[in-house]
Amino acid sequence: MTSRERVLAAINHQQPDRVPLDMGTTFYTGISACALYRLRKYYGLKTRPIDIFETSQMIGAMDPDIIEKMDLDVVGLPQAKDFAGVRVYGEKQDFTMPDGTPVRISSAHKYKVDEKGRSYLYPQGNDHYGPSYLMPEGGYFFDALHRAPEYDEEDLRPAEDFKEDFKLKAITDEDADWYAENARLLRATGKAVVGTQRSSLGDPSEIEGPQVLEPTGIRGYQDWSMAQLLYPEYVKEVLEMWTEAGLKNLEIYKQAVGDNIDIINISGTDLGTQVGQLLSVETFRELYKPCFKRLNDWVHQNTDWKVLYHSCGAIRPFLDDFVDMGVDIINPVQITAAGMDAKELKDTYGDKLVFWGGGVDTQDTLPNKSPEQIAEHIKKNLDIFAPGGGYVFATIHNIMGDVPEDHIAKAFEAARNYNF
């Protein structure tokens, strides 16, 4: 099988010739630039600054040489703008990570480093406004800063508060041309292609408005979570506007990329923590589910793409709703979270959902265990998820910057050599 044939078989619940492998195609199956730089050295590949395709998490772009070296089966078409509202394509500028790793970020970014070694990023690359991101001294990624003033519960204006968000997320003609050209190039690789066109419905990474010059309204995630109960009409109006913006973008995106992608990463709204859910199933059904269903229905009615939905944590109570609202693939399959038993997930949803992830725990196992223990951990997971198709190997969320490079290499070697 070719890489694309292997992935297509898996996502159509057919057993491929071997387990398909993904690293680096999305914001959630990626690898820190620091770890990627060392991994390239480990494989004896040419060392050079790592291009960044998602700046807040400092996720490194996977070049063709390492994709082939690791025998990966999937390539990714990233979103044209990062969470700070800056285009990821075009000219680059140098940036040095706290550990010395050389990377390249968009030249449109403005950043500053203070006397304590803390780095700041600015919304839309405009340093006439306060920074929207902070990387602490010795850090590997940026944290979003809360900048919005306290909201007035007597004067809630969702359309006014979020109008800049929707304007910034709109696909421009330049973005569409970039999507079209890069989707064509990625299709020519023979790999399966994952496109990202997030609609960001209540996504914690975007509620703060890190791309907005002067965010207003209900912005902090704690406030947003409370608003789902206290001001549900406000939340509903914001989500409906996000949905309308998302549908317009999907139409433009489809015209640009056509059949040159196979999977669409449509959302990254986290619904779970390690131990439970961030909102009730009832609240999800009332506020979120109708919006996601509209987006997913559009994809299924107008394309042959499969819908990939990312949600961290203990999301088992939502999975029936995911199936009902048209989700095809779930990620990262956080089997270390409460209620996320791998066997129960496969037995119950193996013919309804594709599991993209769940391969290796990145919080403890990958960074801290021996290569032999990592391989054993992966075999145990693949024995459950892989048979019968419906599975793509990926780490449980992104690989952090301090993970030993030999652990990463051995993990993907174990998955690649797995026998059904």
Q: What is the CATH number of the domain that holds 251?
A: 3.20.20.210
Do the domain assignments include residue 386?
Answer: yes
- Whether 253 and 183 have beta carbons less than 8 Å apart is answered as no
Do the domain assignments include residue 328?
Answer: yes
Predicted confidence (pLDDT) per residue in 358-415, tens digit: 999 999 999 999 999 999 999 999 999 999 999 999 999 999 999 999 999 999 999 9
Do the domain assignments include residue 128?
Answer: no
Do the domain assignments include residue 82?
Answer: yes
The per-residue pLDDT for 329 is 98
Do the domain assignments include residue 120?
Answer: no
Q: Going edge to edge, which strands form the sheet with 133-135?
A: 111-113, 119-121, 133-135, 143-144
Alpha carbon separation from 223 to 55, 119, 167, 388 (Å, rounded): 25, 26, 23, 43
What percentage of the chain exceeds 90 in pLDDT?
A: 96
pLDDT exceeds cutoff 90 at 205: no
| 0.95 surpassed by pTM | yes
pLDDT band at 199 (very low <50, low <70, confident <90, very high): confident
Do the domain assignments include residue 400?
Answer: yes
Tokens of 82: 């990062």
Do the domain assignments include residue 138?
Answer: no
Name the strand (E) or helix (H) holding 195.
strand 192-196
Do the domain assignments include residue 106?
Answer: no
Summary mean pLDDT of the chain: 97
- Whether 388 and 15 have beta carbons less than 8 Å apart is answered as yes
The string of DSSP letters for 82-141 reads -TTS-BSSS-EEEEE-TTS-EEEEETT--EEE-TTS-EEE-GGG-TTS--SEEE-TT-SS
Q: Which domain holds residue 168?
A: 3-88+153-416
HEC-encoded secondary structure of 236-285: HHHHHHHHHHHHHHHHHHHHHHCCCCCEEEEECCCCECCCCECCCHHHHH
Q: How many domains does the chain have?
A: 1
The per-residue pLDDT for 204 is 84
